Amino acid sequence: MVDNGKSILTRIKNNKDVSAKLINLIYLKEVLSANDLTFLYSFALLLIDEYEENKTKHLFLDYAYYIIARTSLKSNNYMALYDFATNYGYYPISRKISELKLIETPTINQWLAEIGIDDFVDENKVLTLEQSKIFLEVLNDNENFTSFLAPTSYGKSEIIFEHIKKHNTENVIAIITPTKALIDQVSREARKRITDRKIITHDQNYSNDDLRILAVVTQERALRLVEEGAIFDRLYIDEAHEIFSFDFGKKQSNRSLLLSRLMNITLLQNSNCKYMYLSPVINKAQNISFLENQTIKQHKIFNDLKLLNIKYITQDYVQQYDLYLGEFIKLGTVTDQFEYIKINSKDKNLHFLYRPIQIEQYTEKLYDSLETNISIPDDIEELIQELKMIVHEDFKMVSFLNKGIVYLHAKIPSLIKNYILKFVRESNYIKHFVANSVVLSGMNMPIDNLFYISGYSKLADLKNLFGRVNRLNEIFSPQNKDLSRILIPINFVDMPDFPQPHGKLRNKVEKLRSNFDDEIKNPLLENSKIDPNNQNNADEIKNTEKQIIENYTNPKFKEKLTLAGAQQILNYTPEGLTKLEKKFNLFTQTEDDDIFNLIKIIFFDDFSEHVDFNPEYNAYRLRNTETITYYKMFVDDFRTRTLNDRINKTVNYWEKKESGYKIYVGGSYGEEVFDSIHYPNSFNKVYVNLTAHRDDRYFLNNLAIVKLQIDEEYVSHEISLLVNTLLKFEIISQSDYDKFFYGTSDSKELEILQLGISRTLFNKLKEDGQLDNIFLDDYGNAKASENLKEYIGNQKGIEKFELEQYFL
């Protein structure tokens, strides 16, 4: 393994004469003398000289930059930082120092340097030397397999859109995003930048008549596009590190497996299809290889302008962590951790936890620790009233907003989440943002401070999270007058009430000093590392995928069932597959057949668990008549009722249930296990016993919000996979499918619903006679007529927000 300089820095740490002086001057001494400055700059120059002798020791350059930056900021003398930044191509730093006039008497060398920096300005944004070089390489790269690896906020989105424009002869292309939330962000940006293609976000938007397409989709939707006949010329795989992960307990339903399958199938259909992988946390692009002897061209930005300012806070004290020496330095005592958080908060603070229920519990404690605000801005007051109306007056967010706090996780309705994110971005009043991994995967938020409470164990995930704080466009924007924002505040707060899911928090802090390798668990990748205990499962998965690819144009029953979706979650055995195929062959549909009943009859009735199939528990619930009845009601209500109505109806339904009634909410909110003959000795808390909360209407209303979102995800995943299978095997018709998911088979209504707009908004547009004011441009993109634009201008709140996302 190449020594990056860590071993020598450890030796420096162990030499207490040197390390004690460094620590004292960098972190503890408030005013530096001329001798202090000489020592620090001399030490930094020694590190730079060592780096120049051996450039594999990049930690020397990083530590030198760190020392020079902190010393310059502390002493208010920026000449050394300016010289370092200019010499090493950190041009945004140099230009910012000049713009802020931080050097009182500019030299002739500075004047000449400024002229040279002008060559690295791109659309009013100053690039680093390395950035400029790599950007040009990527834009000119037309290899079949290439990658762009760069720290978070270094322009991956810009690269994608500029690359699309430069290589504009390709007709059918896609940006593959890891989450539905990111589809919204990327597609909005695409509509601004790409004007000569149809931009689609769902397989239902696709038509074989479409010639030039940009699809912004997840891998699941991309696979369905392929089934619909789309043949891709290029795929941009955003957050490509997601392909490394794999959970053998999920088998065929692993999303990384689906991404691997997508790449294999698209290459099978078009041997000239090109792939670009983008990620902030992949070490070596070659690790993404899914083909034997595949070569992936790597374009990587190594240097990061941002410097981590890491603190570790217990119940008793606060410590600085020197990332380079691996040393904890005590800065002071702590009597109340929330008081520390309040004192050390900035304009936009991200508080990170991993479990949704803990996010809400933590937010309540944070809320209690802050003073009540005397004056709430009009826009926030309007948001509060709107959330009361469209969600519920008991919605927890309503109270928290009074003190400038929001919380977000995947169990909040998507439209509500996107709407609240708008206020997080735009309102100075909202200072505290409590969330989990919804903020990773490319979400761009104006965060300038991180309080890390609990969560990730992987070093790559931590570094990806840190990259969300103080994005480069915020640090170097004309509006920012504070160069100290290059020091990224990372506060690890060790709270007993919110323990870590893996290991101790202090160990995570220490782990940051380590190099991290790509953890390649996906068995479909060439460089995967499989635990011996999973080898048999890995071989089975690889064989299944091999059969899918080899027989793709004429799949056998199992392959077709896997592609359609049912096998992903039901895992039929060879015996079960034989029985199911007979059912399909003998089945005759009647007009009275309800799709939910068909799901139960075809996929569950007459099958024995472990003998015929091994379904995931969440899918296996559909064997119950009560579950089927509930989801029939849920789908009907989803089409016709507002969210507020559905919450009230749900709670009223619960209150009529007998004592001991439990509802399934999954691991995010579960309080009790569910022991049964099918799952004996279960340890997963996935149910809530309503008896314990029967008299707490506030709790029930907020649980209903979560439950309805969980059920919406259940319909869009588990139930959707089974309904899609019924369609692919011609048990139901396309019209049946459309009526089930959209409540209509009218082509005009489907055209609008398939854009992804909410049912509530669709119903309003229909009632107000606005559907006919939506038309398609020459590329098939939905546009608003002048009448609809005027209509949108007269709307307010979330309705206006959603309309603008789709039609303006």
Per the structure, the count of domains in the chain is 5
Same domain, 287 and 313: no
In this structure, what token pair is assigned to residue 277?
């992988």
Same domain, 351 and 446: yes
Same domain, 342 and 485: yes
Going by C-alpha positions, the residue among 83, 84, 82, 78 that lies closest to residue 61 is: 84
Same domain, 188 and 315: no
Q: What is the pLDDT of residue 22?
A: 97
Going by C-alpha positions, the residue among 457, 179, 151, 439 that lies closest to residue 305 is: 151
Q: What is the pLDDT of residue 374?
A: 74
Tokens 């502390």 belong to 74
**Is 284 among the domain residues?**
yes
Average pLDDT, the chain: 91
pLDDT band at 155 (very low <50, low <70, confident <90, very high): confident
Distance in angstroms between the alpha carbons of the first and the last residue of the chain: 53
Same domain, 571 and 622: yes
Q: From CA 430, how far away is CA 349, in angstroms rounded?
A: 9
Going by C-alpha positions, the residue among 318, 280, 274, 325 that lies closest to residue 297 is: 274
Asked which of 32-36, 315-319, 637-641 is least confident by mean pLDDT, the reply is 637-641
**Cβ 213 vs Cβ 230: under 8 Å:** yes
**Is 77 among the domain residues?**
yes
Percent of the chain at pLDDT > 70 equals 97
CATH number of the domain at 184, please. 3.40.50.300
Asked which of 39-53, 261-275, 674-688, 780-794 is least confident by mean pLDDT, the reply is 674-688
**Is 150 among the domain residues?**
yes
Q: Does the pLDDT value for residue 680 go beyond 50?
A: no
Mean predicted confidence (pLDDT) in 357-376: 92
Given 738, 766, 789, which residue is the final one in a domain?
738
Angle at CA 452, nearest 5°, toward 318 and 128? 100
| Secondary structure of 255-288 as H, E, C letters | HHHHHHHHHHHHHHHCCCCEEEEEECCCCCHHHH
pLDDT band at 253 (very low <50, low <70, confident <90, very high): confident
Exposed/middle/buried for residue 220 (C-beta within 10 Å: 0-12, 13-18, 19+) = buried
Same domain, 389 and 476: yes
**Is 573 among the domain residues?**
yes
Same domain, 238 and 146: yes
**Is 695 among the domain residues?**
yes
**Is 532 among the domain residues?**
no
Note the pLDDT tens digit of each residue in 282-315: 999 999 999 999 999 999 999 999 999 999 999 9
pLDDT band at 618 (very low <50, low <70, confident <90, very high): confident
The tally of CA atoms less than 13 A away on the side-chain side of residue 213 is 27
Same domain, 292 and 353: no
Note the pLDDT tens digit of each residue in 314-339: 999 999 999 999 999 999 999 999 99
**Cβ 27 vs Cβ 73: under 8 Å:** no
Element (H, E) at 691: none
| Tally of CB atoms within 10 A around 279 | 26
Same domain, 578 and 717: yes
Same domain, 229 and 376: no
- The stretches of 147-279 forming alpha helices (DSSP H) are 156-166, 180-193, 219-227, 255-269
Handedness of CA 642, 645, 651, 653 (dihedral sign): negative
pTM: 0.94
Same domain, 458 and 360: yes
Same domain, 427 and 320: yes
For residue 179, which amino acid is it? T
Given 738, 758, 781, which residue is the final one in a domain?
738
Q: Does the pLDDT value for residue 353 go beyond 90?
A: yes
**Is 548 among the domain residues?**
no
Q: Does the pLDDT value for residue 206 go beyond 90?
A: no
Note the pLDDT tens digit of each residue in 477-532: 999 999 999 999 999 999 999 998 888 999 999 999 988 889 999 999 999 999 99
Overall size of the chain counted in residues? 808
**Is 523 among the domain residues?**
no
Q: What is the pLDDT of residue 34?
A: 96
Containing domain of residue 492, as a range?
A: 307-511
